[in-house]
Amino acid sequence: MSAPRRIVRPARMEHLDELVEFTAQGGRDSGADSAAVHDICVAVSEVCANVVEHGYRAERGGSIAIETSATAERFVIRIEDDAPVFDPSVLPRPDTESDWQRRQPGRLGWHLVYGMMDEVRHEPRGDRGNLVILVKRIGPGRASAPGAG
């Protein structure tokens, strides 16, 4: 099991690359292959962008904290914010079937998070704030994981 690593940055889009790369490096250091690292990047990018765009909205001064840890088989990402509580599991499915004229791009973000990761959990942090826990299987058992491609 690897020791937890943690990063905290202001919840602004300009820090997205740094937050994603921190998590991706944690995945690489834990033995995740390039396909798993790709999926981790997509999921973390989506969660953090949602926090910036929809969580804090116009509020200033909010932050995003990411902590990563791993066992031989699981890479675990904990993403915390202090934005209003939002449970992504209540979102309706996005439109993935309409023809191009009618296709609407909304709600794809969380759809991708669920598709890229093996486990996605949300926990409110009291009256305000969210903890999102993402788990990606790594190592020999990964081939059977949903979303492994």
Partner 1 sequence: MRTSVEQRGNVSTVHIAGRVDGQTADALQQVLSGELEAGRHELVADFGGVDYTSSAGLRVLLATVKGARSRGGDLRLAGVRPEVLNVLELSGFTSILSVFETVDDAVESFGGQET
**Residues forming the site for partner 1 (CB under 8 A):** 13-14, 16-17, 20, 34-35, 38-39, 41-42, 45-46, 48-49, 52-53, 94-97, 99-101, 103, 105, 108-109, 111-112, 115-116, 147, 149
Cβ of residue 64: shortest distance to partner 1, in angstroms? Answer: 12
User: What's the Cα-to-Cα distance from 94 to each of 32, 106, 111, 112, 128, rounded to whole Å?
Assistant: 29, 6, 7, 10, 26
Cβ of residue 1: shortest distance to partner 1, in angstroms? Answer: 26
Residue 4's SS3 state is strand
CB nearer to partner 1: pick between 58 and 124: 58
Cβ of residue 115: shortest distance to partner 1, in angstroms? Answer: 4
Strands 74-84 and 63-70: antiparallel
Cβ of residue 130: shortest distance to partner 1, in angstroms? Answer: 17
CB nearer to partner 1: pick between 16 and 79: 16
User: What's the Cα-to-Cα distance from 80 to each of 73, 103, 149, rounded to whole Å?
Assistant: 23, 32, 28
CB nearer to partner 1: pick between 126 and 149: 149
CB nearer to partner 1: pick between 96 and 144: 96
Cβ neighbours of residue 75 closer than 8 Å, sequence gap 6 or more: 26, 27, 30, 32, 36, 40, 68, 69, 135, 136, 137, 138
CA 97 to chain centre: 24
Cβ of residue 56: shortest distance to partner 1, in angstroms? Answer: 13
